[in-house]
Amino acid sequence: MSIIENALKKANKQNSVEKSDELSVLSAQPKNTLEIQKEDKQPTSDDLKIAKENYVSIDWTSLAKEGFLDQNDTKSQLAEEFRVIKRPLVNNMQGGDVNGIKRSNLILICSSLPGEGKTFVSINLALSIANELDKSVLLIDADVEKPSISKQLGIKQYPGLIEYLENDQITFSDILLKTDLPNLNVIPAGKRHKYSTELLSSQRMYLFAEEVSRRYKDRIVVFDSPPLLVATQAQILAELVGQVVLVIAAEETPQTVVNESIAKLTKCDVVMTLLNKTKKDFDLYGYNYGYGKYGHT
Ligand SMILES: Nc1ncnc2c1ncn2[C@@H]1O[C@H](COP(=O)(O)OP(=O)(O)OP(=O)(O)O)[C@@H](O)[C@H]1O
Ligand SMILES: [Mg+2]
């Protein structure tokens, strides 16, 4: 089994962005067969006691069982696939000023529908960059309706993004968590809020994006987002970032649905499509399959 490569689809700056008309493909990774105890409970008072600690140890064992990249994994097929996926994103980030991509270091991972693999891609992309490149990554859980990053990484701390947006007494450093992977920091989503859409479209969110992009110019910021066609939040977020990765579940998401999503992303400087969960065997650099299928959507 192998991958296929990568695909960039870009709305405005077609000529100046690397691989702007190719499609990335990510194969379905076999899960470790060990049983995992999934936790899905609300924070308890014990959890609240650790809310002020700004350091977390990632639950690597649980992540590995779920089929995510391991801290020391540089040789697996998944590690190789993410090496290919991250390359054009990092190149666009580095050439952002020249290519006129605003906030090119901010990358939103979105999809049309739920369950296409946004969180899987967000975490693995962040781990891949933090593991292998001399770059810091900030992973932000912006799927504020259905936050999964904290659950997957075994993080219980908060406040998170929502509290920051809601309360100007909460500072950036209050929500920033350092992890035991030195190049990886995380911002959790925070508590659910009935006005989360309004908070994400607020001026404070815009200033947050500007500030993170400017202050951490050499750092990649990965946002895990809600699905585009289910909530308006993803479209709001897409307009704040420099690059968007549209994850498409292979053999599940119809072309018309993908087209609808692409239409919602026309204001974005760079839109890259990533065909996820492919089950077929491909050559490592077999770009053509993906390109033919979705490259011109
Ligand atoms: N390439 C892949 N290989 C193996 N498993 C995958 C892959 N992509 C996604 N999955 C699995 O599919 C399930 C759904 O993925 P994920 O939670 O990342 O989707 P999502 O788009 O974030 O969903 P939601 O919209 O509900 O947040 C998870 O169990 C995830 O581990
Ligand atoms: Mg998710």
How does pLDDT run across 200-248, given as a tens digit for each residue?
A: 999 999 999 999 999 888 899 999 999 999 989 999 999 999 999 999 9
User: Domain limits at 177?
Assistant: 8-29+50-294
3-state class of 270 per DSSP?
strand
For residue 91, the 8-state DSSP code is H
The H helix count followed by the E strand count for the chain is 13, 10
Of 30 and 39, the one with more pLDDT: 30
Which amino acids bring their CB within 6 angstroms of ligand 1?
26, 28-29, 66-67, 111, 114-120, 143, 146, 148, 227, 276-277
Is 43 contained in some domain?
no
Is 54 contained in some domain?
yes
The CATH number linked to 232 is 3.40.50.300
- Ligand 1 pocket test, candidate residues 26, 38, 119, 228, most atoms within 8 A of CB: 119
Q: Could you give the number of structural domains in the chain?
A: 1
User: What mean pLDDT is predicted for residues 16-24?
Assistant: 51
Is 253 contained in some domain?
yes
DSSP β-bridge partners for residue 106: 221
Report the distance separating Cα 245 and Cα 84, nearest Å: 14
Give the tokens for residue 184: 């990886």
Is 41 contained in some domain?
no
CA-wise closest residue to 54 among 192, 221, 191, 185: 185
Is 16 contained in some domain?
yes
Of 49 and 84, the one with more pLDDT: 84
DSSP β-bridge partners for residue 141: 224
Please tell me the predicted confidence (pLDDT) of residue 17.
Answer: 53
Is 221 contained in some domain?
yes
Residue 50: pLDDT over 60: no
Please tell me the predicted confidence (pLDDT) of residue 135.
Answer: 84
Please tell me the predicted confidence (pLDDT) of residue 231.
Answer: 87
| Ligand 1 centroid, distance to 115 Cα (angstroms) | 5
Give per-residue pLDDT as tens, 250-274: 999 999 999 999 999 999 999 999 9
Q: Which atom of ligand 1 is nearest to the CA of 111?
A: 21
Confidence of residue 25 (pLDDT cuts 50, 70, 90): confident
Is 157 contained in some domain?
yes
Report the distance separating Cα 292 and Cα 295, nearest Å: 6
Query: What is the overall mean pLDDT for the chain?
Result: 82
| Ligand 1 centroid, distance to 121 Cα (angstroms) | 8
Residue 82: pLDDT over 90: yes
